[in-house]
Structure 1
């Protein structure tokens, strides 16, 4: 017996589909038992109710009726696939959209750039801008070349000293703020050409009529005791107002055998302002005022510090 999916048997169809009460072509009540195809009268109600099997092709032998197509999947049958997708992750459509959304998010919210610091060894336009600003504020720098070398280090130290900052010669946020704010030291004199030495901030100022012309990194006496030619001395720089009384326009050897002094200008006893290859940002000398050799050249050759020039140490 051939069963159709979701349908009743032939006998059930016969019982469920009663014949009309009267038929103009037949007066006999059909039998409740379904007759075979050879016994069923043509045009009867049972034949009309049954589906007609497809005609076989002329060349193919007669074969049983083909199986009915598989029914479409019901929601209950699709559920396992959905559950499998949920176990593997988000549905396929969402997986396709997620990378695009993530890529857009990364484009719209780039990471913040790291802060840039300038120090010895740095070079380029940023260093040139730094040097130009230092010169504009009056800090001594012999050349603007875009190279952060020892001379730029001296100028940055001087700026940091004037601003009360850490003396590390690294241009970070605080040093940049000092540059932007135009930090520069104020003089204590108001008239004439004066060399001012600020011991607290370890700076030397070239002052003209109460205006600071140049500011230099300097290093004065460190206050320690030292021995020279069998005698003990204290490495201190005395405060007060003095005048240049002697100068040596060459590399002069100390009479106490304490080393060479480049183009010194003496203002009291054996204490002088002189050039040196070592000018740290703290007191380090035997009592003299150290500045760089290029700074000493500027004092001698550009600005001029003749004998009689006032020197104020405070």
Structure 2
């Protein structure tokens, strides 16, 4: 929904990133274990993995991420863009600088994972929390973590763009922010939806024209006009998990 920025990677449910990006390490966001109750102990394969890797170690990684609430896409033993976005989300929650490489520190964290920071402890059992500082979305359903996803929010860079909208050529300007606050999900559209600033996939609106939506580009830094971009495979499943009228809490500030 916005111009690309330095370090942008193009993700798809099966594609491999066209470049490797690394962001500064993030502070730890929690200290308690995030392993679901009844989960069998996880023993990390320990093999260093990068996009394009295949095999049993990748499948073990995908299964573990899925078990912890991160969506790596199809569990097929192929390290593509969907798995990488889940790795990014996991690394950010666990205070690691997000990178496409899964090595010793990430494997160790997968053995003893941290829970995502709760932004609204008094919030409704079913709610969505957007952490702008860490660039993650956490969906809670009936008090349990249902989904944790990498996101890219508003870039904060003022823009002015000319677009044809409702049959007229118009000039649109804004500050590209994702405002913090408390909102609720409202209307939505299936498939690609054309807005005056671009194409949104499976958008779920929660603050006027600001929505959760799938995008082909979901970089490690904020890059949208204000919406919350999601990896395409996450945008496929989110509408089935996030109903209408569900509280959405947006907190934090991304520090470049």
Per-residue CA deviations over 1:16-62 (Å, capped at 9, x if unaligned) read: xxxxxxxxxxxxxxxxxxxxxxxxxxxxxxxxxxxxxxxxxxxxxxx
TM-score (normalised: structure 2): 0.73
Residue 74 of structure 2 aligns with which residue? 143
Is 1:246 equivalent to 2:179 in the alignment? no
Is 1:199 equivalent to 2:138 in the alignment? no
Residue 11 of structure 2 aligns with which residue? none
Kept in 1: contact 2:124–2:247 (CA 8 A): no
Per-residue CA deviations over 1:64-109 (Å, capped at 9, x if unaligned) read: xxxxxxxxxxxxxxxxxxxxxxxxxxxxxxxxxxxxxxxxxxxxxx
Q: SS of 2:108's equivalent?
A: helix
Kept in 2: contact 1:159–1:184 (CA 8 A): no
Q: 1:310 aligns with which of 247, 250, 255?
A: 247
Q: 1:285 aligns with which of 217, 224, 241?
A: 224
Q: Quick one: higher RCO (CA 8 Å, sep 6+), 1 or 2?
A: 2
Asked which structure has the greater CA Rg, the reply is 1
Q: SS of 1:158's equivalent?
A: helix
Kept in 2: contact 1:186–1:212 (CA 8 A): no
User: 5+ residue gaps in structure 2?
Assistant: 1-45, 162-169, 252-256
Cα offset, 1:153, TM superposition: 0.4
Q: SS of 2:66's equivalent?
A: helix
Is 1:169 equivalent to 2:169 in the alignment? no
Is 1:213 equivalent to 2:146 in the alignment? yes
Q: Count matched residues.
A: 196
Q: SS of 2:77's equivalent?
A: coil
Q: 1:224 aligns with which of 157, 162, 165?
A: 157
Kept in 2: contact 1:187–1:210 (CA 8 A): no
Structure 2 CA distance for partners of 1:231 and 1:142, relative to 1, 3 Å: closer
Residue 269 of structure 1 aligns with which residue? 208
Cα offset, 1:142, TM superposition: 2.7
Cα offset, 1:306, TM superposition: 2.5
Kept in 2: contact 1:120–1:150 (CA 8 A): yes
Kept in 1: contact 2:128–2:248 (CA 8 A): yes
Is 1:132 equivalent to 2:63 in the alignment? yes
Identify, as 1 or 2, the structure richer in helix.
Answer: 1
Identify, as 1 or 2, the structure richer in strand.
Answer: 2
User: 5+ residue gaps in structure 1?
Assistant: 1-114
Distance 2:55 2:114 in 1: 24
Q: SS of 1:154's equivalent?
A: helix
